[in-house]
Amino acid sequence: MNKSNLGGAGERRKTAEYATLCERVLAAIIDMMVFMLFGLLLFPVYVFVDMEIEEIQLITVFLILLYLTLLNGPVGKGQTLGKRLTNIRSVTEDGEVPSFLQAFLRTLLLFVDGLFFGLVGAILIHVSKNNQRLGDMLAKTIVVGSQQKSEMHLCIWKLFYVLAVILLPSIGVTLLVILSSFSGEGVISEVLFWLMLFFVIIFQVIFLIKFRQFIRERAMDWKRGKHHVMFFLFMVLLLAPTLFAYSITVEEIFIAIFETLSMEELGEESGGAAMIQISLLAVTTEFLRTYTIINLTLLSIFAGFFIGTLRTDKLPDYILESTAFGIVLAIISTLIFFVVWKVLISFFGPMIV
């Protein structure tokens, strides 16, 4: 990790570190998840007021620009939620909090840095002298973090944790159901979901071992590891239950629509030119809800052990505290799942019935 040029003071130059590319990618992914959650919460409002798609797109872009500008500027003191959870921040080249104009400029240039799924910005960060993407260069800002280079492996583990443990089991519900319904044979069964859950558990066990090793090597306590705690709480209490609720709602709508479609009429309207084959699903919505509750419970228990690792390393206190944290998180995350699912169903109920 390179040193940054903060504050013009020699002593600050010696201590400040640039944020790694992995940290910035993880922060960006978390912020994109925040945008997804905003979209899920606002979508029923869009439907209720019967807005045009162009209006929805315009409002969405405006909210994203507002979020990034305010939090990367004086309001958030250079930290969006993603940056706060990864313990990095945006600052000026002099080490100060960016102004609103600087924050807006670097946010606006995301339309360039974000090309090809962010590859343009990633390349610029990797090759530039001060680890700056184009928006940073024009706004004269840099991104710094307090983490050391030796923490890079934990950042990578967190990145894979989000992708493999949170996104795959939740978004995978919708994808697998859609693939199953169009397979013509209904080959996607409950076994595949249990297999997915098995690999998620294996990954969490490996992650827990790596995390405990990381904490022990650095003798990190509860106070110093608070950004890790925030990371786990965000994933377990907000992101996972919301995505599961959304995925199962989409799946129920999808099944209801195709159950009411007359394939013969559809074939006649297409003049026989198109052949669509839709099979009965091998999984039920009741099973998917059970799968979700089990997934959230296991995710909460492991998160409880992650947090317990920061609290104490002495047995049996570690087991007792971690289990207590896990049970509480499991109850809360399950309640949040059902609340979000019920809200979504209340808006989209007519489509399902």
Look over the chain and give the mean of its residue pLDDT values, rounded to a whole number: 78
pLDDT in tens, 180-221: 655 545 455 677 788 888 888 898 898 888 888 887 777 777
Which pLDDT value is given to residue 103? 93
Which pLDDT value is given to residue 226? 80
pLDDT in tens, 312-343: 777 777 888 889 999 999 999 999 999 988 88
CA atoms within 13 A on the CB side of 168: 18
The tokens for 268 are 């006649």
- The residue that leads in pLDDT, 190 or 233, is 233
Closest listed residue to residue 118, CA positions, set 202, 21, 207: 21
Integer Cα distance of 150 and 131 in angstroms: 18
Q: How confident is the model at residue 275 (pLDDT cuts 50, 70, 90)?
A: very low
Point out the least confidently predicted range of 11-15, 228-232, 296-300, 325-329: 11-15
Q: How confident is the model at residue 47 (pLDDT cuts 50, 70, 90)?
A: low
Point out the least confidently predicted range of 4-13, 107-116, 286-295: 4-13
Listed in sequence order, the residues at least 6 apart from 168 whose beta carbon sits closer than 8 Å to its beta carbon are 196, 200
Listed in sequence order, the residues at least 6 apart from 209 whose beta carbon sits closer than 8 Å to its beta carbon are none
| pLDDT > 90 fraction of the chain, expressed in percent and rounded | 22
Closest listed residue to residue 130, CA positions, set 122, 112, 142: 142
Point out the least confidently predicted range of 111-120, 224-233, 275-284: 275-284
The tokens for 294 are 């089990």
Which pLDDT value is given to residue 99? 93
The answer to whether residue 249 scores a pLDDT higher than 80 is yes
Say if pTM beats, i.e. exceeds, 0.85: no
